[in-house]
Amino acid sequence: MSTAERRICVSICERDTCSLTSAIKLAAETGHFIEVRLDCINEHALTSALENLQQLLQEHAESTIITLRPQEQGGLRLLTLDERIQFWREHGFGLPAFLFDLEIDLAEEFLRTGEAVDWSRVICSSHDFGAGVADVKNLYERIARTPARFLKVAVNLDDAVDNLEIFKLIERVTSDDRKLVAIGMGAAGVPSRILGPSRGSFFTYASLDHHTSTAPGQLTATELRDIYRAEQITDATSVMGLIGQSIAHSLSPQIHNAAFASSGLDAVYLPFDVRDLASFMRRMVHPATREIEWRLRGLSVTAPHKKNVMDYLGWIDPAAREIGAVNTVVIEGKQLKGYNTDALGFISALQTERPRLNGARCAVIGGGGAARAAIWSLLQEGAKVSVFVRDTERAKPLAERFDITISNLQAAAFESFDVVVNTTVLGMSGHQEQQTPATAEQLRGAPLAYDLVYNPTETRFLREAEQVGCETLGGLSMFVAQAAEQFRLWTGREAPSKVMHAAAVEALGGR
């Protein structure tokens, strides 16, 4: 693989020589660039590590990048400027490598002292974990004043819309003489890591696994290559994605990208961590106002945007309007269209366990967009629905919309209901995983407990239900069913549902 074809740089961060050697050999098998983070090595072992690595680095001299990152620039060690100068003079520039990464303060010092540096082999880098995208232009202008051929800017992003500034910078700088790597760090910056190379960034960074990640929001090389097919993305690639907040644990990218690959479609599905919905829809989505050229075809919508996204759509499916929530956006020409596939997914999964719902007594826990879809679907089937929430005052509009009763969740007992449905995110993988909206005692006597949370497959809510003899139904079937309908709306093709389900099961660890 030539240098020009490499689009991923695997960053290696290990504490000892043995682990570092193994990691370099493993990363070399991927055929990508390899960043050797020497700041990760125990400081007392660094000198011996350099001696042992000489031959190994020589074998991969055309693909390795040497880095000694100080703590204030995201490194693992406290390193003074003098210590870093000494390292590069005595060791760094003598190592067999393709490129040497010098932080901006170090590069400026070498320029001031007239150090003999081969600037054609230098990446001049700047990392900002605080100021964010507002300072990206200033950071770039500072590193651009050095003669380094390769420039790197990494800034922390707070919102998916901030990726625009990363992409604009890449477009501004791309040339034959100088190469830029621009990265948005954090969950909001993930789109820049995936799309960056296709838009002109020299490469993107990845880790071998999540345990050895070297920056916030960094994906693994396997994720970039096998899930997002980042090396195959071009200007012609169709883009779909998920908009929401705290979406790191969503499996939507895994199942949709698997479906695209299985169907032979040149398409990619991305996570967009969106706080300012209005700005994102105006600046990145709507064809009439967006500030980016891309083939955006559709979006999945999750909490907390399912209701508010309706304000930015030109047409809404009647069922979605009745539900009062949209979880799917389709872009057709200059128009944004809204649908709700949660309803179809919810009811189709439930009817595998309860084919006849007419007259069934159903308790729905929660009052968000997923609850709206569940309530509407159950009412369409003739079920009798009651809703349970922690804040009954806030849920009054829901009661009025569907003409149903709202009760306080904390005082609820579900023994008189045929089905109890959890539509909240309590129990989802992450910081809420050990929580449940209802206890075993509350669920005692209910024949079926249905949890819309699909990650993990067995939530605490379901475990509480099993303790008191309830049948249980997890959210994975609903998740795949609603996603399959999204696939059909975006592509006009029937979805490979089995492929999508298998991708979800694999991502969940085969559970």
> Which pLDDT does position 31 carry in this prediction?
76
The boundaries of every CATH 3.40.50.10860 domain in the chain are 241-340+480-501
Taking residues 285-310, report their average pLDDT: 96
Confidence of residue 48 (pLDDT cuts 50, 70, 90): confident
The boundaries of every CATH 3.40.50.720 domain in the chain are 354-474
Confidence of residue 227 (pLDDT cuts 50, 70, 90): very high
pLDDT at 2 exceeding the cut of 60: no
> Which pLDDT does position 510 carry in this prediction?
57
| Cis bond before residue 456 (omega within 30° of 0) | yes
pLDDT at 4 exceeding the cut of 60: no
More confident residue, 143 or 57: 143
Share of the chain above pLDDT 70, in %: 97
Confidence of residue 70 (pLDDT cuts 50, 70, 90): very high
Confidence of residue 334 (pLDDT cuts 50, 70, 90): very high
In the annotation, is 384 catalytic?
A: no
> Which pLDDT does position 405 carry in this prediction?
92
What is the phi-psi region of residue 504: left when phi exceeds 0, alpha when psi lies from -120 to 50, beta otherwise? alpha
Taking residues 323-352, report their average pLDDT: 96
Q: Of the listed 25, 137, 152, 306, which one is catalytic?
A: 306
Residues 6+ apart with CB under 8 A from 145: none
Contact between residue 323 and residue 354 where contact means Cβ atoms under 8 Å apart = no
**Residue written as tokens 């979800």?**
504
Contact between residue 334 and residue 393 where contact means Cβ atoms under 8 Å apart = no
pTM of the model: 0.93
> Which pLDDT does position 42 carry in this prediction?
82
pLDDT at 107 exceeding the cut of 80: yes
Taking residues 100-124, report their average pLDDT: 96
Pick the CATH number of 3-233 from 2.130.10.30, 3.30.390.30, 3.20.20.70, 3.90.1150.10: 3.20.20.70
> Which pLDDT does position 131 carry in this prediction?
66
More confident residue, 270 or 48: 270
Taking residues 291-313, report their average pLDDT: 96
Taking residues 354-363, report their average pLDDT: 97
Listed residue (313, 306, 296, 304) closest to 241, CA to CA: 296
More confident residue, 4 or 365: 365
Confidence of residue 175 (pLDDT cuts 50, 70, 90): low
CATH number for the region 241-340+480-501 comes to: 3.40.50.10860
> Which pLDDT does position 75 carry in this prediction?
87
pLDDT at 76 exceeding the cut of 60: yes
Pick the CATH number of 354-474 from 3.40.50.1390, 3.40.50.720, 3.40.50.2000, 3.20.20.10: 3.40.50.720
Taking residues 60-77, report their average pLDDT: 91
Tell me phi and psi for residue 20, to 5 degrees.
-65, -45
